[in-house]
């Protein structure tokens, strides 16, 4: 018996075919694996939405649309309404944006127009580090340092200043608690500042130098260049960045939970304690007894997710549009 050693062209062709097959299979396998992972990202979003809807069904069935417009929040009689947390979320975010948008834009103006080159990176990084500090740190700092400080300085000042002005006096009424809606809004402002700054700096830097040089060439001051060339050119991107910051502010949890006071009522005064959607969930979820209570909290989560989803989607859409225009 002789061992037949395969030789010749036929053998080479067959091993090559096998190797090619193996490669093709490996490639197909890897391709499918990565595709599955990409689909997995979509699946996560779908699962989040579905689980929130199924979890909040009992509450939505029990209260219907009333849930959105009722202010009561009574765990004892199991009557729940989301108006106070929704109001608190919107008001704190509004205060935050009122401060963070102008300050953030001015910082980007400083970074792109005034700052000496060697200082740009360190200052940019320092501002971005503010975004890296975990939310709970803002919370503990807000509760023990910032709120007592406000209680002794800013809040009495506001009360005295607007005490006799109609309308504004009710906005700044009541004793200075330290914690409350205003404090939460101010802390949110510090937290979203880096997001607004870094995006508006990026879009400011994308302005073609020729445009700015032309404006300087006809004798514009730096402020006029920013006001009439840079901002109009980057408007869409800046709005996108602002919306992104707003999305963050709306969903921010721990820092707000520490300083808002967790009171389920709507007060005219922004010095009074209030609550937000995320703070209510964080404070009450583990202590919630009864299915209806838990389900109402999940329904709050659903509302928060829908609001932030809309804001973030709008932000991304605007930022995509500016990318397309540039590209």
Partner 1 sequence: MNRLYAARRRRNRIAMGLSVLATVFGLGWLVLILGALIWHGFNGLSIAVFTEMTPPPGSAGGLLNPIVGSLILTALAILIGTPIGILAGTYMAEYGRYDRLTTVVRFINDILLSAPSIVIGLFIYEIMVAPMGHFSGLAGAVALAVIVIPVVVRTTEDMLLLVPNPLREAATALGMSRAVVIRKVCYRAAQTGMLTGVLLAVARISGETAPLLFTALNNQFWSVDLNGPMPSLPVVIFQFALSPYGDWQSLAWTGALIITFTVLALSITARALAASRKES
Among 98, 129, 161, 268, the residue binding partner 1 under the rule CB under 8 A is: 129
Residues 58-87 that bind partner 1 (CB under 8 A): none
Site for partner 1 in 182-211 (CB under 8 A): 190, 193-194, 197
The residue (of 145 and 214) whose beta carbon lies closer to partner 1 is 145
What is the three-class DSSP state of 79?
strand
User: Is residue 139 involved in binding partner 1 (CB under 8 A)?
Assistant: yes
When the beta carbons of 135 and 169 are compared against partner 1, the nearer one is 135
Using the rule CB under 8 A, is 162 a contact of partner 1?
no
Q: How far is CA 201 from CA 59, 110, 132, 230, 233, in A?
A: 44, 9, 18, 11, 13
With binding defined as CB under 8 A, does residue 316 bind partner 1?
yes
Please give the residues from 16 up to 45 whose contact with partner 1 meets the rule CB under 8 A: 23-24, 26-27, 29-31, 33-42, 44-45
Which residue, chain included where needed, has tokens 């389900």? 295
Q: Shortest Cβ distance from residue 44 to partner 1 (Å)?
A: 6
Residues 6+ apart with CB under 8 A from 250: 89, 93, 304, 307, 308, 311
Beta strand pairing status for 79-80 and 73-74?
antiparallel
Which range binds partner 1 by CB under 8 A, 90-98, 160-168, 203-211, 244-252?
244-252
CB atoms within 10 A of CB 38: 10
Measure the CA dihedral 56/96/151/87, to 10°.
Answer: -30
Verify binding: residue 232, partner 1, rule CB under 8 A: no
**Rounded CA separation 241/289 (Å):** 40
Binding region for partner 1 (CB under 8 A) out of 71-79, 80-88, 96-104, 156-164: 96-104
Decide: is 290 part of the binding site for partner 1 (CB under 8 A): no
Q: Is 152 in the site for partner 1 (CB under 8 A)?
A: no
Name 252's Cβ contacts closer than 8 Å, sequence gap at least 6: 135, 188, 191, 278
Angle of the 231-251 helix axis to the 83-109 helix axis, nearest 10? 140
Q: Which of 59, 91, 127, 242 binds partner 1 (CB under 8 A)?
A: 127
Choice between 39 and 206, CB closer to partner 1 = 39
Site for partner 1 in 252-271 (CB under 8 A): 252-254, 257-258
Q: Which is nearer to partner 1, 203 or 269 (CB)?
A: 203
**Cβ pair 194, 126 in contact under 8 A:** no
CB 295 within 8 A of CB 321: no
Contact with partner 1 (CB under 8 A): which of 136, 160, 168, 268?
A: 136
List 263, 267, 301, 322, residue binding partner 1 (CB under 8 A): 301
Closest CA to 93 of 191, 175, 237, 168: 191
Among 145, 165, 168, 206, binds partner 1 (CB under 8 A): 145
Q: Which stretch binds partner 1 (CB under 8 A): 160-168, 175-183, 208-216, 247-255?
A: 247-255
């Amino acid at each position: 018996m002789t061992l037949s050693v395969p030789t010749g062209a036929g053998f080479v062709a067959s091993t090559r075919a096998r190797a090619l097959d193996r490669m093709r299979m490996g490639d197909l396998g890897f391709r499918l694996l990565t595709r599955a992972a990409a689909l997995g990202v979509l699946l996560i979003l779908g699962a989040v939405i579905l689980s929130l809807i199924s979890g909040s069904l009992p509450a939505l069935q029990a209260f219907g649309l009333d849930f959105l417009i009722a202010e009561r929040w009574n765990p004892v009689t199991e009557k729940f309404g989301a108006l106070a947390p929704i109001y608190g979320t919107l008001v704190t975010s509004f205060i935050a944006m009122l401060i963070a948008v102008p300050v953030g834009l001015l910082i980007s103006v400083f970074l792109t127009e005034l700052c000496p080159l060697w200082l740009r990176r360190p200052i940019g990084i320092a501002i971005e580090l503010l975004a890296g500090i975990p939310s709970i740190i803002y919370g503990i700092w807000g509760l023990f340092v910032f709120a007592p400080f406000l209680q002794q300085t800013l809040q009495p000042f506001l009360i005295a200043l607007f005490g006799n002005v109609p309308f504004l006096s009710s906005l700044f009424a009541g004793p200075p608690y330290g914690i409350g809606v205003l404090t939460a809004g101010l802390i949110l402002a510090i937290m979203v500042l880096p997001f607004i700054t870094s995006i508006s700096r990026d879009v400011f830097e994308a302005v073609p130098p020729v445009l700015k040089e032309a404006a300087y060439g006809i004798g514009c001051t730096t402020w006029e260049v920013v006001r009439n060339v840079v901002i109009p050119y980057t408007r869409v991107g800046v709005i996108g960045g602002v919306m992104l910051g707003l999305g963050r502010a709306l969903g921010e949890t721990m820092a707000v939970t520490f300083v808002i006071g967790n009171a389920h009522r709507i007060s005219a005064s922004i010095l009074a304690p209030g609550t937000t959607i995320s703070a209510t969930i964080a404070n009450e979820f583990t202590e919630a007894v009864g299915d209806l209570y838990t389900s109402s909290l999940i329904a709050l989560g659903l509302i928060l997710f829908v609001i932030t989803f809309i804001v973030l989607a709008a932000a991304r859409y605007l930022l995509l549009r500016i990318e397309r225009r540039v590209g």
